[in-house]
Amino acid sequence: MLLKLLGALIIVITSSWIGFIIAGYYRERPKQLRDFQSALQMLQTEIIYGSTPIPEALSRIAKKTNMPVSTFFQNVKEILYNYRGYTVDEAWEIALKNLHRESSLNKTDKEILSVLGNYLGISDKQDQIKHLKLTSSYLKKQEENAEEERKKNEKMWKYLGVLTGLMIILLIY
Amino acid sequence: MDVDLIFKIAGLGILISILNKVLLQSGREEQAQITALVGVVIVLLMVIQLIAKLFDSVKTMFQLY
């Protein structure tokens, strides 16, 4: 009897955990897109008013942003500082690939960000600002989509996880 | 004949109705319909043996062989 209850508890906890993980993906994505937008805003400021060299600007931004975004910028900076010979574009690409595990961004978001990498640090201020603004507007659109998806899916996955667990228990009890 | 089965079916009904409502709320009518259907099928599978038994006993009672 006790063992049965214990097993039931484990099943409920596991399935609701899975549900919460999937819901977390939907919850995190708009937040991370917003973080990226504010980071790009900061980068614009650094480029216009500070004319800061890219690695330095990136490390400053990394200190001011939240978790996955800050590790991304930190990553780009470290690649630029450590492995001599990488261009900003390549470092940006590598860091984006590393970002894959810990972020909830999807393929389109990453594609948008990776295009930006091509233009950073190789042309004059105006050109870079233009590309930063363009990327920001794309990200804004993605954020709206993500927000809509979150409203639709976050709650559902939470319920779905718990209820599925309860259902499995009822079926095999 | 155990009462457990009745409780099991009642629990399943409650869970499926909640699931249905959640799915409808998030705008997935098709999935909601499918879950309802799956619920019906599962309950039917549980009950079908009892129904067969009932038919058998009716047959023996009225000697319809």
- Percentage with pLDDT > 90 across chain A: 21
In this structure, the number of other CB atoms found within 10 A of the CB of residue B11 comes to: 16
Dihedral Cα A93, A101, A135, A44, nearest 10 deg: -80
A167 and chain B in contact, CB less than 8 A: yes
In this predicted structure, the answer to whether residue B65 has a pLDDT above a threshold of 70 is no
Chain centroid offset of residue B18 CA: 16
Q: Does A171 touch chain B (CB under 8 A)?
A: yes
| ipTM tops 0.90 | no
Give the Cα-Cα-Cα angle A133, A55, A97 (nearest 5 degrees): 75
Contact A137, A9 (CB under 8 A): no
pLDDT at A80: 85
Give pLDDT, residue A90. 85
Residue A84 · residue A92 · CB < 8 Å:
no
Q: What is the pLDDT of residues A20-31, one digit of tens each?
A: 999 998 998 899
Check pLDDT > 80 for residue A144: yes
Confidence band for A125, pLDDT divided at 50, 70 and 90: confident
According to the model, what pLDDT value does residue A55 have? 81
Between residues A69 and B1, the one the model is more confident about: A69
**Can you give the pLDDT at residue B1?**
59
Residue A150 parent element (H or E)? helix A125-172
With beta carbons under 8 A apart, name residues in chain A contacting B42: 171
- Res A14: pLDDT: 95
Alpha-carbon gap, residue A16 to A147, rounded angstroms: 23
Helices (H), B1-65: 4-25, 29-62
Query: Is A170 in Cβ contact with B8 (below 8 Å)?
Result: yes
Q: Which of A47-51, B37-41, B61-65 has the lowest mean pLDDT?
A: B61-65
Residue A173: pLDDT over 80: no
pLDDT category of residue A103 using cuts at 50, 70 and 90: confident
| Minimal CA separation from B1 to chain A, in Å | 17
The rounded mean pLDDT for chain A is: 87
Q: What is the mean pLDDT of residues A165-172?
A: 88
- Yes or no: say if A73 and A62 are a contact pair by the CB < 8 Å rule: yes
DSSP code at position A122: T
| Joined tokens for residue A163 | 């209820």
Task: Determine, for residues B22 and A155 on separate chains, whether the beta-carbon distance falls below 8 Å.
Answer: yes
Residue B49 has pLDDT above 80, yes or no: yes
The tokens for A144 are: 């709206």
